[in-house]
Amino acid sequence: MSTQIILKVLALRHRLRQRDRWTRRQLEEHQGGALHRLREHAYARSSFYGRFHRGLTDRPLGDLPVLTKEMVMEHFDELVTDPTVRLADVEANLATLSGGDDLFGGRYRVASTSGSTGRRGLFLWDPGE
């Protein structure tokens, strides 16, 4: 592991440790803001979420429709917020990823479900997430 990565992890750990002293109100404000930013990002960059949550964008999470793995996979290309990511490319590349530090497209980690209940699910995130 490089020294740079270790330093980044230690800096992040220090920043996150400050939150250990937050009041309940501070925590709830942080969570609410983070959720708002996440939803805004999804609505702006995912045509699927724009349709799926039409008229519900300001509703609490409990009021939103359930999104199943089957729906994620059926609408993968329009659900992702990065237009360069395509399901066919992820599936084709998944077999070549050896784990460790391999990233799909040089940017994303990829996880998949086993597919034991039908079609497997594919999920991507960047290392910062």
CB 50 within 8 A of CB 43: yes
- Look-up of token digits 């330093």: 7
Does residue 28 belong to any structural domain of this protein? no
| Residues, the chain | 129
Q: Does residue 120 contact residue 112 with C-beta atoms inside 8 Å?
A: yes
Residue 117 covered by a domain = yes
In this structure, is residue 85 part of a structural domain? Answer: yes
In-domain check, residue 77? yes
Residue pLDDT, tens place only, 45-81:
999 999 999 999 999 999 999 999 999 999 999 999 9
Number of domains in the chain: 1
Q: What is the pTM of this model?
A: 0.77
- Whether 20 maps to a domain, the answer reads no
- Check residue 96 and give its pLDDT: 78
DSSP H or E stretch at residue 43 = helix 24-45
Is 86 part of any domain? yes
Q: For 5-45, what is each residue's pLDDT tens digit?
A: 889 889 989 989 989 999 999 999 999 999 999 999 999 99
What confidence tens digit (pLDDT) does each residue in 73-110 have? 999 999 999 999 999 999 988 877 665 667 888 899 88
15, part of any domain: no
Query: Does residue 111 form part of some domain?
Result: yes
What is the domain range of residue 123?
A: 66-129
